Structure 1
Amino acid sequence: MSQKNETKILALTLLLTVGIVGGSVWWFTNNGVKFSNSITQNPETGSNSSLQDRISFGEKSLTPGDISPVKKEGVQAIAAKSYDKAIANFTDALKLKRNDPETLIFLNNARIGSSKSYTIMASVPFGTDPNATLEILRGIAQAQNEINTSGGVKGVPLRVGIANDDDNPEIAKQIASNLVSNSEVLGVVGPNTSDSTLAAGTIYTSGQLVAISPTSTSVKISNFSRYVFRTVPSDFMAARTLANYMVRTLQKKNAVIFFNSQSNYSQSLKSEFVSSVSLEGGQVSSEFDLSQVGFSAVKSVEQATKQGAEVLMLAANTETLDKALQVIQINQKKLTLLAGDDVYTAKTLEIGREQAVGMVLAVPWHIDGAPKSNFPQKSRQLWGGDVSWRSALSYDATVALIEALKRNPTRSGVQLALLSSDFSTTGASGTIRFLASGDRNAPVQLVKIVPGSRSRTGYDFEPVR
């Protein structure tokens, strides 16, 4: 590709990115990924803030940017233990923005007030990935709302706290230490990334506090700890499904892969994909590190083409998504695109647009891929739109903790319940039970980007039938 064409395409990508930041911060309600009204940094959740500024049960909002005046009044009321006022404020705030899970969690906490409750925490990256955080919190909030409106855990309501770990392994460890020292905390949903889960997991293990990640997929988490579980399938499952689809369905055998060597998730998915393709009789002829300073989407795609590649596999994580989107633009739909679940975002639809049509992604769950479940209908009624796989798997993690609390509402009781051979409950994505490794034995769903109107971008993710 000529230098002139390269400049044009990269300029177009930059303009589209600017357009996203400037014009697409409205709520993205129909493809399962939702943008908040503002993604500016909140001083309360900045990297230099104290640990207490990162944790809230309702006495402060962790949402980046401004919140509505009525929600702010609710936060002040709950801090002052004026629970009736807080209930009224948060109820009004939800009428203004019904798909704000933080508000719903605070409302349910205000309803509990100073009464007896069982406490769990969410460890989420509010400061660095607010969109993924909101998706995760929707699942947690829905599960809390359902159990509390139906009488609680054997009569005791569930209180949910939120901790902002910024997807930073060191901060996640500090938060884990704080939660371990708080004897009221009986379980944790999170962290989000595999790196943070592995880092914080050592603390949760030493403190004998269960953590269930809904989103960490690295194979390193299998058998990592008897206190670290996950409701999301490992990268082994995603890689195997994508490799099978590539070789057997698409009849293509030569791929190159784009990954981030600094990400445990990305490294894990890359390695598993290389192995799976080889077992299927194909090959991965090149690997391109998106995190390298000199990475060039143009040169990488040109090299892949010269090597006879038929498939570009994007094992990008959140930090390298923009570079993966450059690859999609440069590719111009010439080579088949495959991707992991971190590429399942509104941004991919917004920026990828026509060039991303046909790309197939492996995700743990899709709202149209579980026709027998009543979760999609309930979530639509609650939030006013479709939810993503992150919401579904976070719901499952919370439901698992609730079921464990029903058996024995202590830290050791929760852990023993989850490891029990007869443990089983039903979540958004079907039956929840854990292997001795802490993994959940569950399949993945392939989805494809197609033209459509549900997402309001002109493009949608739809299950591959």
Structure 2
Amino acid sequence: MKVAIVAPISFDPSLAEEILRGVAQAQNEVNTQGGINGKKLQIIIASADNREDSARLDNELAQDKSLVAAVGVRRKAEIYKEKGLVLVLPVELPNQAENPEKLDNNTINSQPNSSTTNYLFHVNPLYDNLVDTHSRYIARQARNVAICGDVRSSRDNSTSSSNQILVEQYTQAIKKYGSNVISTPCNLADKNFDPRAFVDKAIETENASGFLLMPSIRNIYFATKVAQEVKGRKPLFASETMYSATTLQNGKDLEGMVLPVYWHRNANRDNPFAKNAFQLWNAQVNQRTAGAYDALQAIIAGLKEDSTREGLQRVLSNPNFSTSGATGMIQFSPTGERQGEAMLVKIELCESCSSGTGYDFALLNKK
């Protein structure tokens, strides 16, 4: 019984590692327990180097009749629907829509499939949930918000578009809750970007009272440079991309920063996932690993009821379907959505914490 895992190994190895860890943990658990109805679960790892290769890869996977499902960030979701292969998304991205360039009335672009026969399932609530929860909090803390995006060259157009969409969504949401977004530009991907000049201008010229950092994983370092200039002067916020071990390595400069997440190991202390993951990897894992674990757990639970492609789709779409995972009880709407609410975490100094950095992400009561 084979499931394909589409991981961005070439262009985002950190995300790929996080996804593959969650998948491996779920696979190990089910196979140790005897497999799925006596059959071992096999994982096929697939990756593509660019957007064109991604489309070709999606088509190849969808046509491979030996596969019963796939886990991965969506590229060409219509191919999976056309060929009848369930695709479960382990993470939510702002560009997971069919037409990511189109923005519509404060809604993020990872919209659910409206088809009655849906083959696309979101194991986390849609990304607009993160943006809305976080923006509401930011607006309460800062009247004038400076946003640092991460827009790369045209050859990285997919990621660039994603970040532009995210900046626009936050801008709309922050304004909706009564605060302003200042016009001073900040692009973390600009090789000539000067963090000190940007922060000074934002505060002195436009009275910035809060800074929101939105780096790609590869540019967390440059976001930290901005934070060094802001530290102690104004509140710091960041997108969920910075929910990573790399961020905590720079905890001294980022202490007090607030960001949104779908999962935190202390949100449900009775759930064994985080403890088991630490024993397996000797490292703390984040929500992307938890999402990948849950994506495969949902597929495993569905395959135990029906191991065919069509049967799996029917099982997951059934409103009575549910299974437990790292993020709690997993249940999908008929359109493949997962209901739920984002949480907020704050970087705080800690003693003897498992991160090994002296800093950790602490759950924040956003009420």
Quote the residue 2:211 is aligned against: 312
Quote the residue 1:223 is aligned against: 112
* Structure 1 residues 304 and 439, CA gap change in structure 2 (3 angstroms): farther
| Cα shift readout 1:357-396 (whole Å, capped 9, x = no counterpart) | 1111111111122223222233233333432211111111
Quote the residue 2:164 is aligned against: 267
Deviation at 1:334, TM superposition (A): 1.6
**Is 1:236–1:269's contact at 8 Å kept on the other side of the alignment?**
no
**Is 1:367–1:386's contact at 8 Å kept on the other side of the alignment?**
no
Number of aligned positions between the proteins:
338
Deviation at 1:257, TM superposition (A): 1.2
User: Which amino acid in 2 is paired with 1:234?
Assistant: L
**Is 2:214–2:238's contact at 8 Å kept on the other side of the alignment?**
yes
> After alignment, is 448-457 or 293-302 more displaced?
293-302
Structure 2: distance between partners of 1:299 and 1:234:
36
Is residue 254 of structure 1 aligned with residue 154 of structure 2? Answer: no
Structure 2: distance between partners of 1:200 and 1:143:
25
The structure having more radius of gyration, on CA atoms, is: 1
Deviation at 1:418, TM superposition (A): 1.9
User: Which amino acid in 2 is paired with 1:331?
Assistant: V
Quote the residue 1:119 is aligned against: 2
Structure 2: distance between partners of 1:154 and 1:172:
32
Quote the residue 1:208 is aligned against: 84
Structure 1: distance between partners of 2:85 and 2:228:
45
Deviation at 1:294, TM superposition (A): 4.5
**Is 2:92–2:127's contact at 8 Å kept on the other side of the alignment?**
no
Quote the residue 1:417 is aligned against: 315
| Cα shift readout 1:331-353 (whole Å, capped 9, x = no counterpart) | 23322111111112222222x33
Structure 1: distance between partners of 2:245 and 2:285:
12
Quote the residue 2:348 is aligned against: 450
Structure 2: distance between partners of 1:326 and 1:205:
44
Query: 3-state SS of the aligned residue for 1:243?
Result: helix
**Is 1:297–1:327's contact at 8 Å kept on the other side of the alignment?**
yes
Quote the residue 2:64 is aligned against: 182
TM-score w.r.t. the length of structure 2 is: 0.84
Quote the residue 1:63 is aligned against: none
* Fraction of identical pairs, as percent: 32
Structure 1: distance between partners of 2:190 and 2:333:
37
Structure 2: distance between partners of 1:224 and 1:384:
38
TM-score w.r.t. the length of structure 1 is: 0.68
| Cα shift readout 1:42-96 (whole Å, capped 9, x = no counterpart) | xxxxxxxxxxxxxxxxxxxxxxxxxxxxxxxxxxxxxxxxxxxxxxxxxxxxxxx
List runs of 5+ in structure 1 lacking aligned partners.
1-117, 192-196
User: Which amino acid in 1 is paired with 2:133?
Assistant: T
User: Which amino acid in 2 is paired with 1:126?
Assistant: I
List runs of 5+ in structure 2 lacking aligned partners.
95-107, 152-156
Deviation at 1:179, TM superposition (A): 1.1
More helix by share: 1
**Is 1:449–1:459's contact at 8 Å kept on the other side of the alignment?**
yes
**Is 1:125–1:165's contact at 8 Å kept on the other side of the alignment?**
yes
Query: 3-state SS of the aligned residue for 1:312?
Result: strand
| Cα shift readout 1:388-410 (whole Å, capped 9, x = no counterpart) | 21111111100111122122212
Quote the residue 2:127 is aligned against: 235
Structure 1: distance between partners of 2:165 and 2:338:
17
Q: Let me know the Cα RMSD of the aligned residues.
A: 2.2
User: Which amino acid in 1 is paired with 2:66?
Assistant: E
| Cα shift readout 1:170-206 (whole Å, capped 9, x = no counterpart) | 2322221221221011111112xxxxx2x33233233
Structure 1: distance between partners of 2:248 and 2:145:
23
Quote the residue 1:161 is aligned against: 44
**Is 1:339–1:360's contact at 8 Å kept on the other side of the alignment?**
yes
* RCO comparison, higher one (Cα < 8 Å, 6+): 2
Deviation at 1:144, TM superposition (A): 1.1
Is residue 278 of structure 1 aligned with residue 175 of structure 2? Answer: yes
Is residue 346 of structure 1 aligned with residue 346 of structure 2? Answer: no
**Is 1:328–1:356's contact at 8 Å kept on the other side of the alignment?**
yes
| Cα shift readout 1:151-176 (whole Å, capped 9, x = no counterpart) | 2222222111111235x332322221
Structure 1: distance between partners of 2:344 and 2:162:
18
User: Which amino acid in 2 is paired with 1:259?
Assistant: G
**Is 2:110–2:127's contact at 8 Å kept on the other side of the alignment?**
no
**Is 1:375–1:428's contact at 8 Å kept on the other side of the alignment?**
yes
Deviation at 1:439, TM superposition (A): 2.5
Structure 2: distance between partners of 1:254 and 1:415:
46
Structure 1: distance between partners of 2:4 and 2:206:
49
Query: 3-state SS of the aligned residue for 1:328?
Result: helix
User: Which amino acid in 2 is paired with 1:254?
Assistant: N
